[in-house]
A and B are shown apart, each in its own frame.
Chain A
Amino acid sequence: MNNILEITELRKTFKGFTLEDISFRLERGYIMGFIGPNGAGKSTTIRLIMNLINRDGGDIKIFGLDNIKFEREVKQRIGFVYDENYYYEELTLLEIKRFIAPFYRQWDDRAFMQYLHRFDLAPKKRVKELSKGMKMKFSLALALSHHPELIIMDEPTSGLDPVFRNEVLEILADIIQDETRGILFSTHITSDLDKIADYVTFINQGRIVFSEAKDSLLDSYALVKGGRELLDRDTRKEFVGIRENQFGFEALTRNATHTRSIFGDRVLVERATLEDIMLYTVRGNTSA
């Protein structure tokens, strides 16, 4: 068994929101993108994995160990990055490091200094002097300096410009050169995942819509465009969501091959992006 993270029928109910029987798993050596609209349950799931809130039911295994029973052991081997800045603004980067390092048995000062250097962060700078992107990189440096096997990131790229985002993605690709590691990465910016993610787990309204290899998703889903006269009660069933306008329709199919066999040359069939898949699945049918 080579699952670095295994979630089974995870449940959590808040007032007005339920995370319903969430199940998915991540193998060592891969990057999983965790997507969904705001409020879908991404952060709740991640907080449950980190045991920051109590679960109502289900099972979370990290490195094959229960995340609550073996919390201390497990957290030694996780690098956790989240988007809110929780550091004391007045402290310098080195001072914060001195505060955090003792928690980790495997802390590696040399690695930390190398990350600071690589990310262009001056050790004597104060946190309040850092831009949002630099803070993100600093979190990443802190999270990686104890050589974690599993890296969990909650919205690491939100609020960053495309240049910074791309840098973060390059860092992730570097990390995963070591095939014993795994990365779970939540985001609502799906274009970050179109390229490097190996697996994509999509959550909507507290339920998992799918958790699959990105390649097979992008091969099976497709965007279909055609004239409205092609839509009737039967053909509509072919689509996850349809957008109609005066001049035609655009729709998402889950089975491009089948859709092609029905419509042939009468429609345009194009490669869907993760964003298309997310949009159509969340919104369903709309007509303009």
Chain B
Amino acid sequence: MKILISYSSKDPLYEQIARQIKEHILRGELAPGEALPSIRNLARELQLSVITTKRAYEELEREGFIESVGGKGTFVSGQNGELIREKRLRALEHKLGEIVTESKALSLTLAELQEMLALIYEEG
């Protein structure tokens, strides 16, 4: 599992960690039931405060991506495929929102944006 922390990013550190672990789960690189490193181990490896890694895990737990089992550790939730798909769709919507904002800032029309999207979609 790869986690990279940027100190020049304006995103809080715990958010960077939570986001990257989430991506690993959504891409299926972390399977349901798989164990995650302990918050202390993760903090040592990334040279961060335990509070930061703890908060990242709390965030992921709240969103249902991981579960902590008292005394045993933290594991990727065994959620069904439908739920994950729904979450990915929501994430995609969010990204599209950013694209639309950026397009408007560049005074792109919807038609122009659709055209650009179609082109990229066909290429992919």
Contacts and interface: CB of A to CB of B under 8 A. Distances in A.
Interface of A: 29-31, 169-170, 173-174, 176-177, 179, 195-198, 213-215, 219, 271
B117 to A, nearest CB: 29
Interface stretch (B19-27, B43-51, B59-67, B78-86): B43-51
A169 B49 CA distance: 12
Contacts of A31: 49-50
Given A173-B43, A177-B40, A215 B49 contact: yes
Given A214-B49, A215-B49, A173 B44 contact: yes
B12 A219 contact: yes
18 contacts: A29-B50, A30-B51, A169-B47, A173-B43, A173-B44, A173-B47, A174-B44, A176-B40, A177-B40, A195-B47, A195-B49, A196-B43, A197-B49, A213-B49, A215-B12, A215-B13, A215-B55, A271-B10
Contacts of B47: 169, 173, 195-196
A195 B48 contact: yes
Contacts, number: 43
Given A215-B14, A215-B55, A219-B12, A176 B48 contact: no
Contacts of B13: 215
Interface in B62-120: none
A214 B51 contact: yes
Contact of B48 (A174, A196, A219): A196
Using C-beta atoms within 8 Å of the partner chain, give the interface range for chain B: 10 to 19
B16 interface: no
Nearest to B12: A219
Quick one: which of A30, A31, A195 has the most chain B CB within 10 A?
A195
Contact of B50 (A170, A174, A198, A219): A198
Given A195-B47, A215-B14, 8 more contacts: A30-B50, A173-B43, A173-B44, A176-B44, A196-B47, A214-B49, A215-B49, A215-B55
Given A174-B44, A177-B41, A179-B40, A198 B10 contact: no
Contacts of B48: 195-196
A176 B44 CA distance: 9
A196 B40 CA distance: 11
Contacts of B55: 215
Nearest to A178: B40
A170 B50 CA distance: 14
Q: Which 4 A-B pairs have the closest CB atoms?
A: A173-B44, A198-B49, A195-B47, A198-B51
A25 to B, nearest CB: 15
A165 B55 CA distance: 27
A173 B43 CA distance: 8
Given A219-B12, A271-B10, A213 B44 contact: no
A280 to B, nearest CB: 20
Contacts of A30: 50-51
Contacts of A176: 40, 44, 50
A213 B40 contact: no
Contacts of B7: 271
Nearest to A30: B50
A213 B51 CA distance: 8
B94 to A, nearest CB: 22
A196 B49 contact: yes
A4 B84 CA distance: 42
Nearest to B5: A195
Contact of A215 (B10, B44, B52): B52
